[in-house]
């Protein structure tokens, strides 16, 4: 039976140095962000909107969950990288649709804020790994509660409170620190670096989308 990424204590793959491990995480993240940038600059959002909503919805979740499943089950770097790309592409479509609603200057500001917050949370996680290791359950419970509240607000009361965006942003700040801590607690292999980058990618993109929404209301 395959062991979940962050539960791995041993590895059949060669262990690499900490700097190379962190570099691999960084390069994998950079690949995902560059892919998203290319999608935003080369794919017309109206082309995405022209796809039948049900096809778009099913395709999005099929790719995301398929990619996550591959990442979780594979211990081969190239297979995990394939799974990573299956997550990056559907997120790119969402980013494209969201970014199209805002001015480029605002998007650039959201990118800057997200980058600074990400670096800060990684630094805090490095300094206080024990604290971040304990908050995983609380983050998951809080995120599920906020999602339920948002769904009820939108579909029942036809409204949305801005405070929810701040709460979700704070939750994903916590997730960045949590996943960075977990990434450095497992064997430092190329495959684990790619798998860890996938988790961090999801955290960072979700934070970016909320930061952009918050800034857009100014």
Residue 211's pLDDT is 97
Q: What is the mean pLDDT of residues 112-124?
A: 98
Residue 2's pLDDT is 43
Residue 57's pLDDT is 93
C-alpha separations of 129 from 15, 73, 136 in Å: 21, 26, 12
> Residue 148 belongs to what H/E stretch?
helix 136-155
Whether the predicted pLDDT of 3 surpasses 50: no
CB count, 10 Å around CB of 30? 11
Whether the predicted pLDDT of 1 surpasses 80: no
Q: What is the mean pLDDT of residues 67-75?
A: 93
Residue 166's pLDDT is 95
Reported confidence tier of residue 162, pLDDT bands at 50, 70, 90 = confident
Q: What is the mean pLDDT of residues 8-18?
A: 77
């Amino acid at each position: 039976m395959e062991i979940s990424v962050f539960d791995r204590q041993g590895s059949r793959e060669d262990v690499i140095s900490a700097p190379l491990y962190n570099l691999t995480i960084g390069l994998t993240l950079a690949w995902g962000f560059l892919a998203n940038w290319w999608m935003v600059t080369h794919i017309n959002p109206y082309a995405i909107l022209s796809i039948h909503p049900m096809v778009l919805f099913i395709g999005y979740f099929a790719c995301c969950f398929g990619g996550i499943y591959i990442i979780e089950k594979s211990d081969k770097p190239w297979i995990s990288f394939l799974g990573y790309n299956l997550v990056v592409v559907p997120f790119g479509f969402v980013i494209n649709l969201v970014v199209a609603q805002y001015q480029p200057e605002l998007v650039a500001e959201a990118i800057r804020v997200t980058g600074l917050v990400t670096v800060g949370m990684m630094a805090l996680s490095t300094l206080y790994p024990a604290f971040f290791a304990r908050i995983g359950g609380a983050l998951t419970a809080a995120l599920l509660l906020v999602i339920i509240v948002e769904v009820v607000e939108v579909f029942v009361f036809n409204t949305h409170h801005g405070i929810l965006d701040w709460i979700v942003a704070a939750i994903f700040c916590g997730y960045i620190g949590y996943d960075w801590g977990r990434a450095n607690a497992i064997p430092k292999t190329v495959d684990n670096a790619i798998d860890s980058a996938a988790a961090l990618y999801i955290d960072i993109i979700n934070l970016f989308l909320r930061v952009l929404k918050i800034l857009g209301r100014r």
